[in-house]
Structure 1
């Protein structure tokens, strides 16, 4: 309970989702649940339980639970952020994440699995790693050394350690501008966005870290290079798993990492699709506001993703902890939770049919206010004028 108001006249506010945040731990437990289903139901499809959980079960629950537009009162935000229970909900993800990875390696080694079943298990572990990147996203924004170290550990499974640097010092500065590799442009498909974001983010993170070290008089190969030491964790992790379980697990470690990155980049794709910050007369961009991120208030998927879908408030106030993020009236709204929208992004014609009208409505049909893929500008203007 948190007090709203002063003294005896104050009311008490209760976070009704307090214990529901533990639902997110179902994701790292999914490799174990997959094994139980296969063991007792003898259906190999359940090796993909992690993917089924995110792609089928969560959207179905979203369908029946609807949206949650409740915001915590401003008077309780500080106390709510200092409540360490919420931090442990994210901290606990990591040991379960790595227990599931080790378990998957054991299963790949000893279970009677065909190639499709091994891939299905890799998909489950990839979902765990992808949501683990989201846990790292929550932890990496915080100022404590512990949480920043935990963010690097969470990223090691997917080999995406440079995200720790680039997201905070690249994406958050350039979001909703043509210069941001992690902002999808209007007319750009997910499959075109994916390599641009992956390699653009890598270049951005490396450039920032190299310049940071140079300002301190240190070489780029310094142990203090946050990109290199994050990648080193992946090397140590993979080497340890291969030493214990053999080289047979190596291809599946790569597959699950690729799937985790694809999951993350699909979220990146939908979070700012076509949105553009305005510029001041001197050419600088306006401050990031809630209208520069797509938002979703679907209840279940927000619980599983630690309010990642309240992305508008996150970008406007990046230091806010997930339990205090608010739904914002001016934020453009997605028609479904991230899981559905990610699947939609894999099929560009469906994505364009659903999202392009919403984007244009957000800008009252004014293409000059849209972050348009430059390759498509002429054709889009022609189509608009027809």
Structure 2
């Protein structure tokens, strides 16, 4: 591609990125369908789309490995359109959440409440990705909105832990959000939830301590984010009673688990190596699982190009690149997270890929200690079958 063509390059997905805004509209559609028909099926739209429609579309539409030319990146990152479509998720997210809570507490029966619970959880779970995108920005407005997006899932500590913990320790045994080979999602979930919380509090305690401030100071980013959750949950409880609090807590756990199953997928079995001084090597594209499936990337602000994100965390979502040396998932996140719920299937699909990515070198894998001996034999067996 010559320089004149590069200068004229236009993002072919420019307006398709706004498809992600359909997600927070789903509970609103569910409410409208229920209001006019009395039927609850509309409340199941969000889980149906997450678990069925998106995986099918990923399969049918396929992948896109193309990258924007580097000459176009400054213009892409300066274009406020991309910023505004991320901002727009948040008011729709809150509208969908508040509408669902009101219907669940005043109108819906048992099955409707369950459907509304999953619908709300998936909107707010995907909302964590909005908070993730904004949390990497350096302006005060984006950072405030990042905390606001995390409030409905009571996961405000993610703002601190992801940026200053996960990105520092990713693909190492020290990172609670990096899954280990042989570790099931169900074993990973409590480890990452508890570990990430502890890490965020430790990071803030250390940061504030350097300023001569205590952990409970109002400038604590974790406490600021949690305060937004208290205001949201407390306000709903005052208006709608204790059932609103129970509903919000349940959907928060489900929404947070949606984030964590994606965390589980993103770094499974990958390990940064130490240098001669015992320091971990810089994070490279090979330390994150990548996926170029178009539909899920459109819905998740290209989160699946996770290899480039970790290698270059300040790069905007619309400019993230595919790297040929990054390990590739066999499908998009929407499919892979369902596979993760069933450990035997997950291990069957992903363990051979971990071995292949590390070229059969067991020492290069991030392995769960309790599975080390078994997986060492597995690596040896796989190597023998390849060399036979």
* Bin of the TM-score, shorter chain as denominator length: over 0.9
- Asked if the contact 2:355/2:379 (under 8 Å) is kept, the reply is no
- Counterpart residue number, 2:207: 212
Give CA deviations for 1:126-176 in whole Å, capped at 9, x if unaligned: 011111100000000111111000000000000001000000110000000
- Separation in 2 of the partners of 1:327 and 1:42? 46
- Separation in 1 of the partners of 2:342 and 2:219? 41
| 1:91 equivalenced with 2:91 (yes/no) | no
| 1:288 equivalenced with 2:286 (yes/no) | no
- Separation in 2 of the partners of 1:115 and 1:37? 17
Q: Tell me by how many angstroms 1:13 deviates.
A: 0.9
| 1:44 equivalenced with 2:30 (yes/no) | no
| 1:367 equivalenced with 2:362 (yes/no) | yes
- Counterpart residue number, 1:338: 333
Q: Tell me by how many angstroms 1:110 deviates.
A: 2.6
- Counterpart residue number, 1:271: 266
Distance 1:82 1:114, change over 3 A: same
- Counterpart residue number, 2:385: none
Q: Tell me by how many angstroms 1:4 deviates.
A: 7.6
Q: How does 1:111-130 map to 2 (within 5 A)?
A: 111=107, 113-130=108-125
Q: What TM-score do you get using the length of structure 2 for normalisation? A: 0.95
Q: How many residues align?
A: 381
Q: Tell me by how many angstroms 1:31 deviates.
A: 0.2
- Separation in 1 of the partners of 2:49 and 2:239? 29
- Separation in 2 of the partners of 1:22 and 1:31? 18
Q: How does 1:1-386 map to 2 (within 5 A)?
A: 5=3, 12-39=8-35, 43-111=39-107, 113-385=108-380
Q: Tell me by how many angstroms 1:195 deviates.
A: 0.6
Moved over 3 A (4+): 36-43, 382-386
Q: Which secondary structure does the structure 2 equivalent of 1:186 belong to?
A: coil
- Separation in 1 of the partners of 2:61 and 2:362? 35
- Asked if the contact 1:290/1:330 (under 8 Å) is kept, the reply is yes
Return 42-51 or 198-207, whichever deviates more: 42-51
- Asked if the contact 2:58/2:293 (under 8 Å) is kept, the reply is yes
Q: Tell me by how many angstroms 1:45 deviates.
A: 3.8
Give CA deviations for 1:329-371 in whole Å, capped at 9, x if unaligned: 1110011110111111011011111111111111112111100
Distance 1:193 1:18, change over 3 A: same
Give CA deviations for 1:35-83 in whole Å, capped at 9, x if unaligned: 3444566543431211111111111211111101111110010111000
- Asked if the contact 1:4/1:76 (under 8 Å) is kept, the reply is no
Q: Tell me by how many angstroms 1:254 deviates.
A: 0.8
Q: Gaps (5+ residues) in structure 1? A: none
- Separation in 2 of the partners of 1:39 and 1:16? 38
Give CA deviations for 1:185-212 in whole Å, capped at 9, x if unaligned: 0000000000110111011110010011
- Asked if the contact 1:266/1:342 (under 8 Å) is kept, the reply is yes
- Asked if the contact 1:289/1:315 (under 8 Å) is kept, the reply is yes
- Separation in 2 of the partners of 1:61 and 1:385? 37
- Asked if the contact 2:30/2:40 (under 8 Å) is kept, the reply is no
- Asked if the contact 2:274/2:280 (under 8 Å) is kept, the reply is yes
Give CA deviations for 1:294-319 in whole Å, capped at 9, x if unaligned: 00000010000000000000000000
Q: Which secondary structure does the structure 1 equivalent of 2:344 belong to?
A: helix
- Separation in 2 of the partners of 1:12 and 1:28? 34
- Asked if the contact 1:49/1:124 (under 8 Å) is kept, the reply is yes
Return 191-200 or 40-49, whichever deviates more: 40-49
